[in-house]
């Protein structure tokens, strides 16, 4: 079992939390829950209420969206990734399903603790914006590529 110090070290390696004071990280680590998932197990499902976000400690997870033809993998998240924040930041249902692609170890951070950390650490808010902007940029590139392929096939 990991110690509180181990959890703080883990959080410090996540770019989002890199500049947060150690005492605040200690509080976040203390109020978080370490959860292990087996391959194929869901962390959360598209449409669920967003009550927490997750730091991937070890392993990987697939980000899946529902389509008329079944689930479509849109991303893969590895160690030190942060997932589930969109639902808690935007107060919307989960926008995707996240499923363990192998044995997965996470740190579950409750919505209220994460939002409190954001309010107390403006630099963390800037980092969240960067992460979300990078994801939006990647998604936009993929959409442009997909649209070009569809146009090519229809011509």
Give the number of domains in the chain. 1
Say which CATH number the domain at 37 has. 2.60.120.10
Q: Which single residue is written with the structure tokens 């993929």?
A: 142
Mean per-residue pLDDT, 4-10? 80
pLDDT at 122 over 90: no
pLDDT at 101 over 90: yes
Mean per-residue pLDDT, 8-35? 83
Three-state secondary-structure class, residue 28: helix
Convert the pLDDT of each residue in 24-51 to its tens digit: 888 888 888 999 999 999 999 999 999 9
Q: Output the pLDDT for position 1.
A: 59
Q: Output the pLDDT for position 48.
A: 95
pLDDT at 59 over 80: yes
pLDDT at 104 over 70: yes
Q: Output the pLDDT for position 130.
A: 83
Measured at the CA of 29, the angle between CA 89 and CA 38, to 5 degrees, comes to 80
pLDDT at 77 over 70: yes
Query: Domain residues for 107?
Result: 4-154
Mean per-residue pLDDT, 127-141? 83
pLDDT, the chain, mean:
88
Dig out the tokens for 18 from the structure.
């890199």
Q: What is the pTM of this model?
A: 0.81
For residues 150 and 147, what is the distance between their CA atoms, to the nearest angstrom?
5
Mean per-residue pLDDT, 119-136? 82
- % of residues, the chain, pLDDT over 70: 99
What is the length of the chain?
155
105: confidence class by pLDDT, cuts 50, 70, 90? very high
Closest Cα to residue 109, out of 2, 11, 1?
Answer: 11
């Amino acid at each position: 079992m990991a110690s509180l110090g181990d959890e703080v070290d883990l959080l410090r390696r996540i770019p989002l939390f890199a500049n947060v004071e150690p005492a605040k990280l200690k509080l976040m680590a203390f109020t978080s829950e370490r959860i292990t998932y087996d391959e194929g197990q869901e962390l959360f499902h598209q449409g669920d209420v967003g009550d927490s976000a997750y730091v991937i400690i070890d392993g990987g997870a697939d980000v899946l969206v529902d389509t008329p033809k079944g689930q479509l993998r849109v991303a893969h998240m590895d160690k030190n990734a942060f997932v589930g924040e969109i639902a808690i930041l935007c107060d919307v249902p989960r926008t995707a399903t996240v499923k363990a692609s192998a044995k997965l170890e996470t740190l579950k951070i409750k919505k209220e603790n994460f939002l409190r950390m954001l309010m107390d650490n403006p630099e963390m808010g800037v980092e969240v914006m960067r992460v979300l902007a990078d994801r939006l940029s990647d998604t936009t590139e993929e959409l442009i590529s997909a649209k070009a392929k569809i146009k090519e096939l229809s011509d």
